[in-house]
A and B are shown apart, each in its own frame.
Chain A
Amino acid sequence: MFRLAGPLGAATLFVASALNAASMPAESRGFLDRNCVACHAGEQAQAGIRLDGSGIDWTSGEATALWERVYDVLETKLMPPRGAGQPSEVERERMAGWLEGQLLSHTASGASVPRRLNRYEYENSIRSLFNLPDFEVPHSFPADDSRHGFDNNGEGLVLSPPLMAQYLVLATHVADEVLPPARGATAAASKLHRLGRDGLATGAGGLVGDGAFRIVSSRNMANVAAWPVRFEARQSGIYRLTFNAVGYETDRMFYEQRAQPFRLQIYARPKADEVYAPFGDLRILAEFDVHPGGSAPRTLTAEIELLAGETFGIRWENGPAYSDPPRRDFSHAFLADRLTRDRLFYAAMLEFGGGARSTTEKELYEAIRALMDSGNLDLHDPRLDKLPEVWGGGLSSAPHNWIKGFVHQELFRFGPAVDLSGIEVEGPLRLVEDDATRARRARSERFLGERAPGTTDEEHARTVIGRFLPRAFRRPVEEGQVEAYAALAAGYLRDIPGARIEDALHLVLRRALVSPNFLYRGLRPGPLDSFDLASRLSYFITSAPPDDALATAASGGALSDPAVLAKEAERLLLSQASDRFVRSFTGQWLSTRLLRGIMPDPRLIQFGDANRDAMIAEAEMLFAEILREDLSLEAFIDPGFSYRNARLNKIYGDDLEGPEMRRVTFETGGRYGGILSLAAVMMATANGVDTNPVHRGVWLLENVFGTPAPEPPPDVPAIAPDTSGATLIRDQLAAHRADPTCARCHDRIDPLGMVLESFDPVGLWRDHYPVYTQPEDGSEALNEEFYSTVGKGTAAGPLVDSVGLLADGTRLDDTPALKRYVVEHIDMFSGCLVGKLLVYATGRALTFRDRREVERIVAAAKSRGNGFRDLILEAVGSEAFATR
């Protein structure tokens, strides 16, 4: 029972025209007359569905969709509605059986429309065609629409004029990277730049009285190094940098630096407006040691190589404060060290209580310093013997920033620090060919390839085109097409005096990249051939064109052999390239893409990008392990393992440290584990502030049960349950279901959603609904959190009631019961997942005919042990996959 057809609109569907209508056997007509037409007839037909015609026009897509829906409601006994007279089981089955036969014989499998490459596929195609691994479309590139749950669906992938204009611009951009236009020789335009008082910037430190610029720490935090704001290299070349540096120290330093020299590093900064670059990615250009203790500044000078557009930065490589890359805030280790070694400071922090959110760094410093100097702190407070409980994970950014702010202020006043002055940069003294230019030259040589001796530009251009077009168009190209492109190149070479072959091919390349043969796949009519299959497989699993091995298999025609196709599919699934499938498919099937648009209420959780990334990574890594280890489908529901890091501690109650995702194992059968309780899914199915059982119920029907609910009628207001406790959610939903029109779907939706009410909007288990005790901006809650694992912004409200009573009479008490139910009905889940995979792979909605294929795939995979990878391989080998 896989109802995969989309919902029908409210318009009256009466699609039995006299001309095309196939007449209906008397028995079927009689069934409809007895059981349906009381409501579904005439102009006033319920839901606009008319079943009183004399025949069915099977050539009409609307009619097919209508009768599919009739079949579904018969099969699932949603119709006739409760309370109305019911047909006997035998009658029902005979009617459904007749309808099924009709639907099967009148609907074709397939019929994808040509699929434009979506944004992600386009990027990957360019990357792989031209060896441009970093190619990205600009932010302004139009986004793709989703249809049937995915953004790679032919219908949704509309081409619009702004998109075409972008393709044209990007084609030139790519051609410039592959076959750069010739440039005249440029001379080095050397110039002396004196970077004055305000010529440097830093995230910490700043100017001191005598005009020097003081950096307090940089180590591995690019945003607290120092960098010039009024200089960037106009040309790639060698520049001479000169500056004065001196260590700054006093007797009140907490960090002892005297024993070792201060090491300054000059590094290349990619862009003046890119503040947060991590050091790991940056080139070190020069190093100096500044010995402490001296009072006279030392003049340092170096010749450094800067590329056009770059600037440089000055970093204090062994400064006292540090962070763990890739995090750019203070590391736990640094903060822990400070709190452990400096009881006075820790005691002051405890006494201070955090301060208001709006306290400035300077105010904060002065307040804490005053407490430290007061002599009134209790240094025997037992809390000082251990780090705050919140330390293991979920430490909110606020205490980080307070401690960071304090340390920076302290270093600025008392040292150790480094004072810089007199910074000058002169150049370019001479020009250099930068990496990008070198890479372009290599790409150009590769694109042109070996040239046979004695061939003219025109002949060679033709050879290059003959080789390039089949790769760009992902299939053999007719002679006429090569001819058209060769004529373009030949015309250029003939008509322009001194024309270079590169420029002729530049034009060819620009045309190929806006050609429908590149931008679309699935353009060829008729059954899929070996090349179509190769593209379908590679974009399915790698969101990219076929790699060399797959292209070779396709050109030999071997892919028509199911064994070869399966072998290639397995190879790709086990390769790194399938990460793109994992990301793209989970992002859409599990809705984790929605997380970027949701900002949780700060009273529920302190939430930032790192929390969001961890949630998404958990979903992807779970999926990837099930895929790569070929685990059984039950592992999606109740796996007994997951991948988590410290950012997820608050949600799952783990005690992990640090940002790396680690595999954790636990007993099966509990609250957590599997897609039904992933924080990412729970968050994606709520709005960050409160939960709505209807949303989660609809999500489960669509993505786990495979029986999606149709769109609600247009004139019905959305249900927004009030969770403040005034009325129980269960009662609000029950009142809504009193209307039989609503009940038809909500009887299926609401019970499932109710079970998941135990998860709050960020996936945290709750026994009570929250009552908020703090203002919405979270200012107070933030401060509390430093000392407690649980946000103090909420109090316990009404008890959560998670019992769901399914239409088949099953009572689900809680999430573990829901998981058991799905595991017991694993074929249902398997069918749902196969449906999603096929829609994603083929770019079309599945037809009635495809349902049989889905059932066959489910059964075949089950006979092989129900492994997820086997399920995908069965899907790849199916008729549905091989049909347009």
Chain B
Amino acid sequence: MHQPGRRKFLQGVGGSLALPMLESLSPKPLRGLQQDPAPLQRLVCVGTYLGFHQPDFFPQRTGPGFEFSPVLKPLESYRDRLTVFSGLDHRGRNGHGGWQAWMSGSATGSVSMDQLVADKVGDHTRFASLQLTCGTPPDPARMSFTKEGVALPMIGRPSVLYQTLFRSSDDSARLEYLLASNRSVLDGVTQEAKALARSVTASDREKLGEYFASVRQVEKDLRKQRLWLDRPVPRVDYPLPEFDPVAPDLALECESIMYDLMALALTTDSTRVATFLVPGWSQVFTIGGRKLSAGYHGLSHHGNNPVRIADYNLVGIEHVRRFGRFLDKLDKAKDEHGRSLLDTAAVVFGSGMGNANTHDNSNLPTVLLGGAFRHGSHWRIERDAPNPRLLGDLYLSLLQRFGIDVDKFAGGESNLDELVA
């Protein structure tokens, strides 16, 4: 809805509309290709909610000569550009609820790795980070958490994600109005809070301090959103289906589209941090023209029945195949220095679920791709070693390559550079 007079009005009530071009918010050129080692610029984390059958996910052999397992087979063309880890986890809680710890190391209440990276690189793009899924995932499925421990909502409808990334001009007008008027709203309530603060006791004033601090932070975020509003939204030519395949039965279709859109979000530099939780319910998939022997959740509780394991793997392979196609897109795109986007990114693929059959969240399937790492091996981490390495150690290696000053994360206390640097 376009309302021509809004701009003028907002100058009247909301303070200046000529927004200051804040130094910290203005885009900077990509930092130092020449610097060595080049800090990473992008992060992608993809996790499947119902995990993988570990014996068919992890290669048998370790080191550079490892063989591609049945489930990882679709990634074979990336042999020299990926690393497979077995034996890594957080020593965390079991069960579906424990999945939430995948990116943070803690079941709830801790910041996830992607949000630390978003804090570092998020100012360069319209969206500091994006959280994706398919449809409405089961309740405990959460992946990204803010510093305050708040689970970030995920976008599960392709049409909504598309609209968010590449919105129409009508939406822009409405968004512009809401952003600008929100700032005037916050100005107004700040005045109210100030009036209150004058009359209350010291401890109450301290309580109101939370209010002032929160408003200030939100205002900062609004300013950033406002700055981006004036920049043209990228135009893409993507054949979005006219319905959203959010029914659980169509989850694999939805997954393909979400991968496509995630690739577009990265290649148009709309964001540099994306997480994708690939959900699972009890839907019965048909793969290769055959209806599988049980629902996906049932397959994950295969009870060591070989028929079910085979079908569970079929679903796993479909996930990996789609992930591979996403990698192809990311790799084909180049940044302004002609570098493959994949080489500017760290990409983590795996699951917060270890052995779905027993709800055991140890030995999490983990594959790492992307620039700035030495690749080409399967590393088996000895879980029973005196000071076993944790998934958090690998995360430290990643975080440090973004230039983030951190020496402890998700239970990890020393990076895994001896394996990946």
Residue numbers of A with Cβ under 8 A of B are 111, 113-114, 138-140, 142-143, 154, 158-165, 168, 171-172, 181-184, 191, 198, 201, 206, 227, 229-232, 234, 271-275, 356-363, 481, 484, 488, 491-492, 495-499, 507, 510-511, 514-517, 519-520, 523-525, 597, 599, 776-777, 779
Contact = CB atoms under 8 A, between A and B. Distances in A.
Interface in B127-145: 135-136, 139
A422 to B, nearest CB: 19
Contacts of B244: 232, 272
A706 to B, nearest CB: 27
Nearest to A481: B192
29 contacts: A113-B204, A139-B151, A140-B152, A154-B207, A161-B213, A161-B217, A162-B148, A163-B148, A164-B215, A198-B286, A206-B291, A230-B245, A232-B243, A356-B303, A358-B302, A360-B293, A360-B294, A484-B191, A495-B9, A496-B6, A496-B9, A497-B5, A511-B185, A516-B192, A516-B193, A517-B192, A523-B200, A525-B204, A777-B357
Interface string B286-328: 1000010110000001111101100000000000000000000
A247 B365 CA distance: 48
A523 B192 CA distance: 12
A357 B303 contact: yes
Contact of A114 (B204, B221, B246): B204
A359 B149 CA distance: 41
B1 interface: yes
A396 B389 CA distance: 41
B129 to A, nearest CB: 13
A712 to B, nearest CB: 22
B354 to A, nearest CB: 14
Nearest to A168: B182
A821 B215 CA distance: 53
Interface string B207-221: 110110111011001
The 9 closest A-B pairs by CB, nearest first: A358-B303, A495-B9, A358-B305, A161-B217, A164-B214, A140-B153, A229-B247, A496-B5, A360-B293
A159 B211 contact: yes
B95 interface: yes
Given A114-B204, A515-B192, A272 B1 contact: no
A607 to B, nearest CB: 13
B303 A273 contact: no
A165 B148 CA distance: 13
B150 interface: yes
| B interface, size bucket | 35 or more
A164 B222 CA distance: 12
B203 interface: yes
B277 to A, nearest CB: 13
B192 A495 contact: no
B196 interface: yes
Contacts of B8: 495-496
Nearest to B4: A497
B246 A273 contact: yes
A165 B218 contact: yes
A356 B305 contact: yes
Contacts of B303: 356-358, 777, 779
A184 B148 CA distance: 41
A419 to B, nearest CB: 17
Given A356-B305, A514-B189, A517-B192, 7 more contacts: A138-B153, A139-B153, A164-B218, A232-B243, A273-B247, A358-B304, A525-B204
Given A159-B210, A165-B221, A362 B293 contact: yes
A216 B8 CA distance: 63
Contacts of A495: 5, 8-9, 12-13
B250 interface: yes
B188 interface: yes
Interface of B: 1, 3-6, 8-9, 12-13, 95, 97, 135-136, 139, 146, 148-153, 156, 174, 178, 181-182, 184-186, 188-189, 191-193, 196, 199-201, 203-204, 206-208, 210-211, 213-215, 217-218, 221, 242-250, 281, 286, 291, 293-294, 301-305, 307-308, 357-358
Contacts of B184: 488, 507
A230 B199 CA distance: 60
A594 to B, nearest CB: 13
A515 B148 contact: no
A275 B284 CA distance: 13
Nearest to A493: B9
A491 B189 contact: no
Give the most central of A159, A516, A599: most B CB within 10 Å: A516
A519 B189 CA distance: 11
A517 B200 CA distance: 13
Nearest to A777: B358
A363 B293 CA distance: 9
Contacts of A232: 243-244
Given A229-B249, A273-B247, A491 B152 contact: no
B92 to A, nearest CB: 14
B9 A492 contact: yes
Given A113-B207, A158-B210, A488-B188, A184 B1 contact: yes
A516 B211 contact: yes
Nearest to B194: A516
A699 to B, nearest CB: 22
Contacts of A516: 189, 192-193, 196, 208, 211
Contact of B204 (A158, A363, A519, A523): A523
B188 A484 contact: yes
Contacts of A498: 5
Contacts of A227: 247
B116 to A, nearest CB: 15
Contacts of A359: 305
B166 to A, nearest CB: 18
B247 to A, nearest CB: 4
A272 B135 CA distance: 9
A506 to B, nearest CB: 9
Nearest to B14: A491
A224 B189 CA distance: 52
Contacts of B206: 113
A491 B153 contact: no
B15 to A, nearest CB: 12
Nearest to B305: A358
A526 B206 CA distance: 17
Nearest to A309: B244
A111 B203 contact: yes
Contacts of A229: 245, 247, 249-250
Nearest to A362: B293
B12 A275 contact: no
Contacts of A777: 303, 357-358
B213 A525 contact: no
A164 B357 contact: no
A497 B174 CA distance: 16
Contacts of A510: 181-182, 185
A172 B178 contact: yes
Nearest to A158: B210
Contacts of A507: 181, 184-185
A162 B13 contact: no
A360 B182 CA distance: 55
A597 B152 contact: no
A499 B5 contact: yes
Contacts of B4: 497
Contacts of B97: 597
A367 B208 CA distance: 69
Given A358-B303, A510-B182, A142 B148 contact: yes
Contacts of A517: 192, 196
A415 B206 CA distance: 71
Contacts of B6: 496
Contacts of B211: 159, 164, 516, 519-520
A400 to B, nearest CB: 14
A227 to B, nearest CB: 8
Contacts of B192: 481, 484, 515-517
B218 A358 contact: no
